């Protein structure tokens, strides 16, 4: 059982001295004492955990009948708020803390208490309940939306308004400039959000923004999407994602994706046939900043002053590109066994027992929700394109060529970027990235340097997605005057790379009645890596030019084999459909695979592996792992957090 951080022990001991409003006596789980009256005497708010709320005056007694500041600080409710972001590993932070503060330290204005809005509480509970369920924790009684919150007609307020931090305030473009104007500057988090939202509003018929989750410090991981039908997966339309700023101090990728979003919108509206064709046939998702918290650290130092590592990690001091499950080691083990499936490898249970960043969880959940085909992660520090595997097949070797079964396709993807990048093709060996010149400015990741827990290896081994890593330059935080040149160097490579999603084959897998067969396997002879069909039965298989034997396979059906020839100049995916016939007699036969318990069978469907899987198992009757945070509270332990 993991002990609580030492810094919390003093707070826990103090909390044992005095109880808060305990609901244990109420069969419905709520305190039997009445709530505070609306009229009150306002006093200064001096609670450390609630120091960043949008108001500075509170009142006693509180909504939980705490009559003094000391009573609040020693309560189990207050202790919970101070440790909740650790228990949920950053999920719903700081939203839950701010919501809880609105109850423990109610807002006081003009001698009256203003309650938080019920609809805000309800929306947050719907979003955050899975995080509590994942660690077997009950929803806190004092966040009962019906008891301690009110409606707009009663003058409620939104306790989460600060999280927007001015994001809804529109910044006007410099006078005289058209809407298509792109400002080649560094963007703060608030500026980035405003630009993306403004861009989505200009191109509302082909674009929308959405959040895939929150960073540890509570910033939205905002994505802008481009598609002929934004917000939905279209049959046979491939999905592409581009991710920037996974390391907070590597900022060029963040800016390139902000510029790319504006460029795609403007050029579509201007009638650019290439961009219109691309957006009408492809669904593109841009996540400019996967690590907005780290960026804030780097930006505080500024361009030209930023250290090589300042802001690299997230707010938990985790390197996000070392935080994904190590499936590559498992792949090497499985690959040595004949006939065993080595794709779509499950996340090992022990992975969840460690520290998993909320940003990492958000990206993995994103990958589960959308059938991505192609991806690129934009970095800084060198000038080269690398591709999987990033982890050496011999762990002791720091540098060792370690190809995937799709080595040929990955080299084509990497070259699609490097071959049209003017600086990557510059013949000078003295330039940034000159040491990769003889390799064509592309390299197998493990042949450069080996590391585990990378995002690209995870994409390939856990899903259908092929991801490359692009190092955009030797300066991680370039000066503002360099940004336009960097954009000019990378605009065409980015477009050329995205267009590569249409290489290979695509199609439908159906049964004899025309019903789609989801999770069917598409195999290619000579390439030991299968992809699977999406829920609607459609699939995309990136393949290099040449002749290929393609097999469609699903449990309970006979396999279907087709020969496919892909011409070298073919730039649109060939349509190859499969109609599977049910097996007539005898037991089901299908290709062997790697189950959790041994050989044979199909892997568990991805959506059956909870991303919030508890990090330590509980055994019959024992308390969950997080109970150790509250053991020193004695008789005032928050038993209302226990589900059973």
Catalytic residues: 471
What are all long-range contacts of 44-51, with beta carbons under 8 Å and residues at least 24 apart? 45/105, 47/72, 47/73, 47/78, 47/101, 47/104, 47/105, 49/78, 49/81, 49/82, 49/97, 49/101, 50/81, 50/97, 50/98, 50/101, 50/104, 50/105
- Single out the residue of 493, 501, 505 nearest to residue 416, CA to CA: 493
> What is the distance, to the nearest Å, from the Cα of residue 583 to the centroid of all Cα atoms in its chain?
40
- Single out the residue of 80, 72, 101, 91 nearest to residue 162, CA to CA: 101
- What is the rounded distance in angstroms from the CA atom of residue 630 to the CA atom of residue 644? 16
Which helix (H) or strand (E) covers residue 469, if one does? strand 466-473
Direct distance between the N- and C-terminal alpha carbons of the chain, in angstroms, rounded to an integer = 19
| 398 three-state secondary structure | coil
CA distances from 86 to 234, 464, 538 (A): 39, 32, 40
Q: Which residues pair with 240 in a beta bridge?
A: 284, 374
Strands 112-114 and 107-109: antiparallel
Report yes or no: 203 and 269 within 8 Å, Cβ to Cβ.
yes
> Could you please report the per-residue DSSP string of 587-618?
S------EETTEESSPPPPGGGS-TT--SS--
- What is the rounded distance in angstroms from the CA atom of residue 244 to the CA atom of residue 252? 8
**Residue where the block lists tokens 């690129």:** 376
> What is the distance, to the nearest Å, from the Cα of residue 29 to the centroid of all Cα atoms in its chain?
35
- Single out the residue of 288, 322, 294 nearest to residue 307, CA to CA: 294
Report yes or no: 487 and 184 within 8 Å, Cβ to Cβ.
yes
Q: Helices 76-87 and 95-104 sit at what angle, rounded to 10 degrees? A: 180
Length of the chain: 644
3-state SS track over 325-374: CCCHHHHHHHHCCCCCCCCCCCCCHHHHHCCCCHHHHHHHHHHHHCCEEE
Report yes or no: 254 and 184 within 8 Å, Cβ to Cβ.
no
Q: Which residues pair with 574 in a beta bridge?
A: 505
- What is the rounded distance in angstroms from the CA atom of residue 312 to the CA atom of residue 410? 27
- What is the rounded distance in angstroms from the CA atom of residue 244 to the CA atom of residue 206? 22
> Could you please report the per-residue DSSP string of 89-147?
TTTTTTHHHHHHHHHHS-EEETTEEEPBBHHHHHHHHHHHHHHHHHTTBPPPGGG-TTT
Largest CA distance in the chain: 81
> What is the distance, to the nearest Å, from the Cα of residue 463 to the centroid of all Cα atoms in its chain?
14
- Single out the residue of 158, 185, 164 nearest to residue 174, CA to CA: 185
């Amino acid at each position: 059982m993991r002990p609580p951080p030492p810094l919390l022990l003093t707070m826990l001991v103090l909390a044992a001295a005095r109880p808060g409003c305990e609901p244990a006596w109420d069969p419905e789980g709520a305190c039997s004492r009445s709530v505070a009256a609306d009229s009150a005497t306002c006093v200064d708010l001096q609670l450390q955990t609630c120091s960043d709320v949008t108001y500075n005056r509170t009142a006693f007694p509180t909504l939980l009948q705490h009559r003094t500041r000391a009573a609040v600080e020693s309560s189990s409710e207050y202790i919970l708020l101070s440790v909740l972001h650790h228990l949920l590993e950053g999920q719903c932070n700081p939203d839950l803390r701010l919501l809880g503060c609105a109850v423990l330290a109610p807002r006081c204005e003009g001698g009256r208490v203003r309650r938080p809005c019920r609809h805000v509480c309800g929306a947050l509970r719907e979003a955050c309940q899975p995080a509590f369920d994942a660690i077997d924790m009950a929803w806190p009684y004092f966040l009962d939306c019906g008891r301690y919150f009110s409606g707009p007609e009663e003058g409620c307020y939104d306790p989460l308004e600060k999280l927007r931090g001015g994001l809804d305030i529109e910044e006007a473009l410099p006078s005289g400039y058209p809407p298509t104007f792109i400002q080649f500057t560094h963007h703060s988090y608030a500026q980035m959000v405003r630009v993306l939202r403004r861009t989505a509003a200009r191109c509302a018929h082909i674009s929308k923004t959405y959040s895939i989750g929150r960073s540890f410090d509570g910033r939205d991981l905002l994505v802008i999407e481009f598609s002929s039908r934004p917000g939905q997966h279209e049959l046979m339309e491939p999905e592409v994602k581009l991710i920037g700023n996974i390391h907070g101090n590597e900022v060029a990728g963040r800016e390139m994706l902000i510029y790319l979003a504006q460029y795609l919108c403007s050029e579509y509206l201007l009638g650019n046939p290439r961009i219109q064709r691309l957006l009408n046939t492809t669904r593109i998702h841009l996540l400019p900043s996967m690590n907005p918290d780290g960026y804030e650290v780097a930006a505080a130092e500024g361009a030209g002053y930023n250290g090589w590592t300042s802001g690299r990690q997230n707010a938990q001091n985790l390197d996000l590109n070392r935080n994904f499950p190590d499936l590559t080691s498992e792949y090497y083990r499985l690959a040595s066994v004949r006939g065993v499936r080595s794709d779509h490898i499950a996340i090992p249970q022990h992975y969840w027992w460690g520290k998993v960043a909320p940003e990492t969880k958000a990206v993995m959940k994103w990958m589960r929700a959308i059938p991505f085909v192609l991806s690129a992660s934009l970095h800084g520090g060198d000038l080269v394109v690398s591709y999987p595997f990033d982890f050496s097949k011999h762990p002791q070797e720091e540098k060792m060529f370690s190809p995937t079964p799709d080595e040929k396709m990955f080299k084509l993807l990497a070259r699609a970027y490097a071959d049209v990048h003017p600086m990557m093709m510059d013949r000078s060996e003295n330039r940034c990235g000159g040491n990769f010149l003889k390799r064509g400015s592309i390299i197998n990741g493990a042949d450069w340097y080996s590391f585990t827990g990378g995002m690209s290896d995870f994409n390939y081994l856990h899903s259908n997605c092929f991801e490359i890593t692009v190092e955009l330059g030797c300066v991680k935080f370039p000066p503002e005057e360099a940004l336009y040149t960097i954009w000019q160097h990378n605009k065409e490579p980015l477009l050329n790379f995205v267009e590569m999603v249409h290489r290979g084959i695509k199609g439908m897998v159906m049964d004899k009645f025309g019903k789609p067969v989801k999770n069917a396997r598409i195999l290619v002879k000579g390439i030991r890596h299968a992809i699977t069909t999406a829920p609607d039965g459609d699939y995309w298989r990136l393949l290099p030019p040449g002749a290929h034997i393609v097999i469609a396979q699903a449990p309970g059906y006979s396999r279907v084999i087709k020969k496919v020839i892909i011409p070298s100049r073919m730039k649109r995916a060939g349509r190859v459909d499969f109609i599977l016939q049910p097996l007539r007699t005898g037991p089901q036969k299908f290709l062997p695979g790697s189950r959790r318990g041994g050989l044979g069978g199909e892997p568990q469907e991805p959506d059956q592996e909870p991303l919030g899987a508890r990090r330590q198992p509980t055994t019959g009757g024992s308390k969950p792992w997080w109970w150790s945070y509250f053991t020193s509270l004695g008789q005032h332990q928050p038993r209302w957090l226990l589900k059973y």
